[in-house]
Amino acid sequence: MRTPQRFALIGCGFIGQVHAANLAAHPGVTLAQVCDIDMSRAEAVAQQYAARAASVEQVLKSDAIDAVLIASATPTHAALLEQAVQAGKAVYCEKPIDLSLQRARDVVETISPLQVPVTVGFNRRFDHSHQQLKAQLKQGVIGQTELIQMVCRASELPPLSYLQASGGQMRDQAIHFFDLLRWLTEDEVNTVGALGAALAMPEIRDFDVDTSVLIMRLQQGALAQLDNTRRTAYGYDERISVMGSAGMLASESQAVRGATLYQGAGITQPGLYSDWFSRVKETYYTHLDAFVRHLGGEQVEGLPGLIDGLRAQAIADAAQLSLTRGEFVEVEWVKI
């Protein structure tokens, strides 16, 4: 049996507490230390999982910590990632590395030569149906990829305070699908065009959009389309279809378990998951598990790394620029 990886968690907000539960539940992990800017919150989470509350400085200096999971506020990611890698700790870092692509690139250029294991939090790769789609694409089931259509429609608007600090829909919501597009097709996006509007929450129109449509051209010629909304009236809707020269594959929206009722002239089917987290909750654990297996020496395919983080963000930046300019924008390729 392998020795458990001793993790420290940095950040005990909503997503940090999701990670805390997964770290505590994983048989290959010991959740040893917990940090948060609010020490009382860190102490509460630490007590819940029999860990110890600590400062970031204590974590990075500790010989009793093998890996760090960064789930703190986005503006802290880059500095914490850099410090943790330089301290020799493996890192699972929530996306994005930084809201500034240049800052993110600078950090990656600094830490890449150190060859410390790092994964970036693109957990959507670990959705079971998306993984099945990926496997069949690799098998060549539908021939040459020609057209990809993606949908990301959240069920409820986040608070205004969240939207103000999120970095915008392209860097916060759509970025997961920029990563999925690259991962599924094993191709790069050359050009992106975006249209957006603040339809669900007009008060954000001065700094963001809540509804958008994007068109992308990939290096090998395929075309992709993505639509995003921050609010639906029918549940969380996430789906991907890929059309190829010999057919189509689709990872569909998923319904809450339940029976379909056939009665008279009508059919009543179970609705979609009520919120995004209910749909993707399991992917956080599956991503963690893949990283832990990687740290144990296993070859794990599809584990998102630093370059994946940068390239998805480069697409997001180009999409944001397209929204502003109202024209197609070339994506700046990130090479390290």
pLDDT digits (tens, 9 = 90+) for 55-65: 999 999 999 99
Q: How far apart are CA 51 and CA 240, in angstroms?
A: 40
Report residue 174's pLDDT band, with 50, 70 and 90 as the boundaries.
very high
Mean pLDDT of the chain, nearest integer: 94
Domain ranges of the chain: 5-116, 126-276+310-330
Q: What pairs with residue 226 in β-bridges?
A: 150, 214
What is the C-alpha end-to-end distance of the chain, expressed in Å? 36
Neighbours of 131 (CB within 10 A): 18
* Cα atoms in the Cβ-side hemisphere of radius 13 Å centred on 260: 6
Q: So what's the pLDDT on residue 1?
A: 53
Q: Return the structure tokens found at 144.
A: 């040459």
Contact in structure between 275 and 236 (CB atoms under 8 Å): yes
Contact 201, 158 (CB under 8 A): no
The CATH-assigned architecture of domain 126-276+310-330 is: 2-Layer Sandwich (3.30)
The domain made up of 5-116 has a fold known as: Rossmann fold (3.40.50)
Summarize the confidence of residues 221-232 as an average pLDDT.
97
Question: According to DSSP H, which parts of the chain are helical?
Answer: 14-25, 39-48, 56-61, 77-86, 101-111, 128-138, 160-165, 169, 175-185, 276-295, 306-325
Of the candidates 179, 150, 182, 178, the residue with the CA atom closest to the CA atom of residue 251: 150
Decide if 238 contacts 253 (C-beta within 8 A).
Answer: yes
pLDDT tens sequence across 101-130: 999 999 999 999 999 999 999 999 999 999
Helix 128-138 × helix 175-185 angle, to 10°: 30
Q: 158: closest CA among 240, 34, 277, 17?
A: 277
Among residues 277, 278, 260, which one has the least CA distance to residue 269? 260
pTM assigned to the model: 0.94
3-state secondary structure of 66: coil
Would you say residue 257 has pLDDT above 70? no
Q: What are phi and psi of 146, to 5 degrees?
A: -125, -40
Helix-helix angle 14-25:39-48, to 10 degrees: 30
Locate tokens 């943790």: which residue?
84
CA distance 282 to 31: 19
For residue 182, what are the CA distances in angstroms to 122, 125, 150, 259, 308?
Answer: 12, 11, 12, 36, 8
Average pLDDT over residues 168-190: 97
Domains 5-116 and 126-276+310-330 in one fold: no
**Is 24 exposed, middle or buried, given 0-12, 13-18 or 19+ CB atoms closer than 10 A?**
middle
